[in-house]
Chain A
Amino acid sequence: MPPCSRHIVDTTSRPALAAHVRLTFNELRGKWAVLAPEKVLWPDEVSADILKRCTGDEPISKIVADLAQDYDAPADQIAPDVLAFVQEWSDRLLIRCSRADAEAAR
């Protein structure tokens, strides 16, 4: 089911690709593709690296830390871009977020 209110993304959000949204490497075209209901999207390398980490297991703070290490870049420089990216994909219902604190309170 879609969310009943808009998820506002912060560093505690745990993003996952929505059900039946698939990230796949297209050999023929040599690039990443996201297959979703009635649309195909072409994330660039960096976007694909974020999407690969959207498993629902990790909060954005951890995703940012991992990317900072892989790209050898300061986490506080990467964080705003990751948050904006996840918010955009969440707004388009391609990513669903749960919240760590919501789980803890349950």
Chain B
Amino acid sequence: MTDPVGPPLGILAELTHRCPLQCGYCSNPVELLKANRELDTETWIDTFEQAARLGILQVHLSGGEPTLRRDLEEIIACLSQNGVYTNLITAAVTLTRDRLEAFVDAGLEHAQISFQGAKAETTELVGHYRGGHEKKLQAARWVRELGLPLTVNAPIHKLNIAEVPEFVALALEIGAERLEIANVQYYGWAYLNRSALLPDYDAVMRQVDYVEKTRDELTGILNIDFVTPDYYADYPKPCMGGWGKDAFAITPDGHVLPCHAAQSITSLKFDRVTDKPLKDIWEGSDAFNRFRGYDWMPEPCRSCERKEIDFGGCRCQAFALTGDAAATDPTCKLSPYHDRLRELPAAQEIRKRVLSAGKILAENA
């Protein structure tokens, strides 16, 4: 790695793992952290001030459910005062109008509300929260009333892939500017539950056709961002736009990660914001430098003309499916492990995302 490390652009800040929903594909790690492991307000504020000096322009405030942090308005105010753009990523079932107004007063600039289904019964079935759908619709109306731009986040899997057209109708009805049709990516909880969640090939192809057609029709009315399911792709996704290139994640207990799932790579060690300055972690830590640039790549990536497009794909997926985090992402058809994507475990019920059971589930998976 000879190129100097450029300034980072964005942070995914997972302020807490606490969440009122129990989705079986949660992007949090299978071993969830309890509230007593979370950073205190002062440490978050100090971290975000360092981040702004380092060049961070956007922070995605996420969780778990970030609004469960009582200091969220304080955190937003700190970021706003430092010129940093804030996105709130919320399940919105425990949100009140007063709270949302306090966030806006503090400088919040955008809200993203997840909908587990386009229909109320699907939202309940997936998230296991009674009356959740109506609460989300109410929160979306408040976002509009308070003049914030709104994104509807729709995580797509076998149970709701047929509802994609209804998700588009929902986004238009509540006046969202953006709709994320985000096919679940199979790490952590979703990997554990993949036999129950992975849609079949035909359903995915129907979805791709529909989204591409609809995106054209709704140009200038609704922005549709489409995250495709990489299990059926020929080439991998450019994960994080390159490892340690533009963005990083911070866990509730302050670990700084090149991607939010990176702790699944057990061969890497990660620094915490309480150990050393953020700048030292970003520029100098082994975990960030391990897969920066192109020199670490083995074949077939090393001589591949696509290496600057997809950076060899996802390191977490490579590790999960091959045991080697430097291997070519198996979603690439050039990977010798590509066939492993078709090996699904026997059908099982979806394991709910719950605080204490994750470790046991992972060990028995």
User: Which A residues form the contact surface with B (CB < 8 A)?
Assistant: 1-7, 18-20, 22, 24, 26, 28-29, 33, 35-38, 40, 90-93
B336 interface residue (CB < 8 Å to A):
no
On chain B, the residues within 8 Å of A36 by CB distance are: 85
The distance in angstroms between the C-alpha atoms of A28 and B6, with both chains bound, is 11
Number of residues on chain B facing chain A (CB within 8 A)? 28
Query: Mind listing 16 A-B residue pairs with CB under 8 Å?
Result: A2-B176, A2-B177, A2-B221, A2-B222, A3-B220, A5-B220, A20-B109, A20-B110, A22-B109, A35-B58, A35-B109, A37-B151, A38-B110, A38-B112, A40-B10, A93-B178
Q: Which listed residue, A5, A37, A40, touches B221 by the CB 8 Å rule?
A: A5
On chain A, the residues within 8 Å of B83 by CB distance are: 24
Contact status of A29 and B55, CB under 8 A, knowing A20-B149, A37-B177, A93-B177: yes
B290 interface residue (CB < 8 Å to A):
no
Decide: B147 and A6 in contact? CB cutoff 8 A. Answer: no
B47 interface residue (CB < 8 Å to A):
no
User: Which B residues form the contact surface with A (CB < 8 A)?
Assistant: 7, 9-10, 55, 57-58, 60, 83, 85, 87, 109-110, 112, 144, 147-149, 151, 175-178, 219-223, 225
Smallest Cβ distance from A21 to chain B, in angstroms?
8
Q: Which 9 A-B pairs have the closest CB atoms?
A: A6-B220, A37-B110, A35-B85, A20-B109, A91-B220, A1-B175, A37-B149, A28-B55, A2-B177
The distance in angstroms between the C-alpha atoms of A29 and B112, with both chains bound, is 28
Smallest Cβ distance from B28 to chain A, in angstroms?
20
On chain B, the residues within 8 Å of A7 by CB distance are: 220
Q: Which listed residue, A5, A18, A35, touches B57 by the CB 8 Å rule?
A: A35
Smallest Cβ distance from A66 to chain B, in angstroms?
25
Closest to A97 in B: B220
Smallest Cβ distance from B4 to chain A, in angstroms?
13
On chain B, the residues within 8 Å of A91 by CB distance are: 219-220
The distance in angstroms between the C-alpha atoms of A35 and B176, with both chains bound, is 18
Closest to A90 in B: B220
Closest to B57 in A: A40
Smallest Cβ distance from B95 to chain A, in angstroms?
18
On chain A, the residues within 8 Å of B177 by CB distance are: 2, 18, 37, 93
Smallest Cβ distance from B256 to chain A, in angstroms?
20
On chain A, the residues within 8 Å of B109 by CB distance are: 20, 22, 35, 37
Smallest Cβ distance from A27 to chain B, in angstroms?
10
Decide: A19 and B9 in contact? CB cutoff 8 A. Answer: no
The distance in angstroms between the C-alpha atoms of A44 and B109, with both chains bound, is 24
On chain A, the residues within 8 Å of B60 by CB distance are: 38
Smallest Cβ distance from B193 to chain A, in angstroms?
26
The distance in angstroms between the C-alpha atoms of A52 and B139, with both chains bound, is 33
The distance in angstroms between the C-alpha atoms of A63 and B78, with both chains bound, is 36
The distance in angstroms between the C-alpha atoms of A20 and B58, with both chains bound, is 13
Smallest Cβ distance from A6 to chain B, in angstroms?
3
The distance in angstroms between the C-alpha atoms of A35 and B116, with both chains bound, is 28
On chain B, the residues within 8 Å of A37 by CB distance are: 87, 109-110, 112, 149, 151, 177-178
Closest to B89 in A: A38
The distance in angstroms between the C-alpha atoms of A22 and B109, with both chains bound, is 10
On chain A, the residues within 8 Å of B58 by CB distance are: 35, 38, 40
